Amino acid sequence: MEEDGPPPLPADVSRDRIQYPEDGVGPLFHRRYTAWVLKPSSPAADVMRRVSSDPDEVAPTEFARFTKVYGEEGRMAVGDEYTVRMPGPWNGPVRVVHVTRTSFRLATLDTHLEAGQIEFRAADEGGALVFTIESWARSGDRLSNVLYQTVPLAKEVQLHMWTSFLENVAHLAGGRLRGGLDIDTHRVDQPT
């Protein structure tokens, strides 16, 4: 857990209704999805400004729509809350817990399918844009854990959602993906 657990929450963030990984069920998954965008026409800070001001601009809306339920429209700030609306009864409430010019991090709230955090970040590296989605999460409850562990469709939807997100970021940045995406998953089994 020292290597694969989520970063600590900033001191000024409300802890109300946050689902920490220790509140969840099953193994913790530390995932990193990375896209290298060649010849972008926009730098990392501009891309992140657009993504954070309207995540639906790059979200695959057939799988997930970000609806802001608390905070000023058109920008993202610590304390803002969204409901990530997904097909079926799987809506996921999240709170913004960290924002910089090139990143933002969300924490899951009560009733989310997962318990943990997810971070979106962009960097300019050697003429390319590197965009990463990194998450640290366990299933939010026993039913979610059973579905995730036994129904391959849940894993496939999650994989497709984040790969589509990254492909859309490449398009938004005005560049092209270098080959495929880098996907790294670490599973951390918790003692019972």
Spatial neighbors of 137 by CB under 8 A, at least 6 apart, are 6, 21, 24, 28, 29, 108, 114, 115, 116, 117, 118
Q: Tell me the CATH class for 21-188.
A: alpha beta
Q: Which helix (H) or strand (E) holds 125?
A: strand 114-125
The pLDDT confidence band at residue 88, using thresholds 50, 70 and 90, is low
Q: Tokens at residue 82, please?
A: 């969204």
What is d(CA 170, CA 39) in angstroms, rounded to the nearest whole number? Answer: 10
pLDDT of 156 reads: 73
User: What percentage of residues in the chain have a pLDDT greater than 90?
Assistant: 71
What is d(CA 186, CA 31) in angstroms, rounded to the nearest whole number? Answer: 6
Contact 131, 122 (CB under 8 A): yes
User: What percentage of residues in the chain have a pLDDT greater than 70?
Assistant: 92
Taking only the tens place, the pLDDT of each residue in 27-72 is 999 999 999 999 999 999 999 999 999 999 999 988 889 999 999 9
The structure's pTM equals 0.93
Q: Tokens at residue 25, please?
A: 């069920």
Taking only the tens place, the pLDDT of each residue in 119-160 is 999 999 999 999 999 999 998 777 777 776 776 666 677 788
**AA identity, residue 139:** S
What is d(CA 40, CA 175) in angstroms, rounded to the nearest whole number? Answer: 4
Q: Which residues is 70 bridged to in the sheet?
A: 81
